[in-house]
Structures are given as C-alpha cells and as structure tokens.
Structure 1
Amino acid sequence: MATSSENTIAKATQEVTNDEKETNGTEEVAVEPKTGVSFPVKLDDGKQLNCVGLRKKSMVMGQASDDIKLTPGSLIEISRLPGFVLKTKVMGEVISKVESELLWAYINMYIGDDPLDKDAKDKFGISLISLF
C-alpha cells in the first residue's frame, strides 16, 4: 500500500514527464554561439527571441544597434536618470533611454557601485560587449 507522500511524488513525476513530452516535440531551441546558452526561439505568446532573455537586440542600444560599428577604444556609457531611466550613450551620442525599474535594478545589481559579485560584474561586462 502506497503512502500519500509516495502518491504525490509519483503524480509529480508523471506530470513532469507529460510536460516534457509536450515541449520536446514542439519547442524550437537555439544556442547562443558566444555563451553556449540554449534558449527557445519563440515564446508561448509567439514573440521571437534573438538572444537569451531579450526579445529585441536593440533593447539597450536602441534602433542604432545595427548602425554603430564599435572600434577599439569606443566608449559606452550607461547612466541612471531620475525615475528609473537608463540612458545609453556611445561615443558621446545618446542612443537610447529606457524607463524600467526592473531593468535598472538588474543592471545596478551587477554593474552598480557595490556589485553583488565582483567576478559576475566582470563577466557581465564581457558578455554585454560580446552581444554587440
């Protein structure tokens, strides 16, 4: 006779197996070449992903992300404005302004004055540069 905890575990295992069957056959996955991280190409709502976690590659650099050629020594400045606005400047030219409390908190956590992890700050900077 099975206990209630064994029944719960068996049911959870069966649900996970059913979920895997549903997603394995229909979900298209891509691998980001620079990081090796796999991500779904399309989300459940039908929107296209261009890289891990971003629906648009122009999120930080604005519409000019395809037009700007970064050369060695290029200066990218991300600054915080009042009201959770992040302003991105490349070589002195304002490229984008994004107003998002979540984006500001995420970026501040990694590249702020007191980062959560100094190694993570360095890795974040390197991976951010590799996206461009």
Structure 2
Amino acid sequence: MTNDQTNRPTINVTSNYQTGGITAHTVHINSAPQRTMGAEHRNQLIREVPREKEVVIWATSGHEESHNFASEIFNFMKASGYSLYGEGPMPQMFIPQLLGVRIRVEKRAEIDVGLMSESDKRAATAPTGIKMTL
C-alpha cells in the first residue's frame, strides 16, 4: 500500500435486491473539463476591472463548471483587495447564451462567466482573452 492509499477513507457500499441504477461512491460519466485561471487572466482582470467599483461576479445558473470558474475568479478578486458583492458568484440566466467570460463596467464592474466554448473544452483552460464591454 502506498501513502496515498493509506490516507483514503474506507467506504463500504451495500446493495440488496437492486433492480436498476448505480451503486457506487462516486460516478463520473462524461466529466467535462474545468477551466482554471492562468497568470495572463489574473493580470487581465487586474488591468480591466477598476478598483474603485464594486464587483459582481455572475455564473451561469445551474451550471457547475461555470460556477466553479466564477468562484475561482471571485476568490482571486477578493484576495486582490476588490470590493465584492455577495459571498460568492451570483446565479444568472444569460439570454442569449453566453460563451466565455465578459467584463462590463457600468455603475459597478460585472464579470459574467458563461459556458465553456468548444475551444475552451479542447484546451481545458480559461479563454485566451476576456471580452470587455463598456
């Protein structure tokens, strides 16, 4: 047994007279890649989001990958000293559907985190650039 295996919890699963479904601890079916921020993206946010504005971070409602990426952005902005609205990303339904990330600067700065584009899925990273709309 390696060190990694000794630190894992023991999970016992029992199924009696199961007629369908899956009995397992964790099941990953067609797991989508997760975007992460790189140094370029962090630098772009610092350059394009004014410090004097309150920042709201929106994530596509009901979409786990979008929420996770928006949470990473939220935590980065908080650690960078920005004034943030709420305790985390706020859910939003984007119509039309938003792909990628967009920054809007109005009364406050708003960062919209949409779904992953096809190129993001292939790269499994954040988009090369963040669109900025004034």
Which has the higher relative contact order, 1 or 2, with Cα contacts under 8 A spaced 6 or more apart?
A: 2
State TM-score, norm by structure 2. Answer: 0.24
State TM-score, norm by structure 1. Answer: 0.24
Structure label with greater radius of gyration: 1
Instruction: Name whichever structure is richer in helix by fraction.
Output: 1
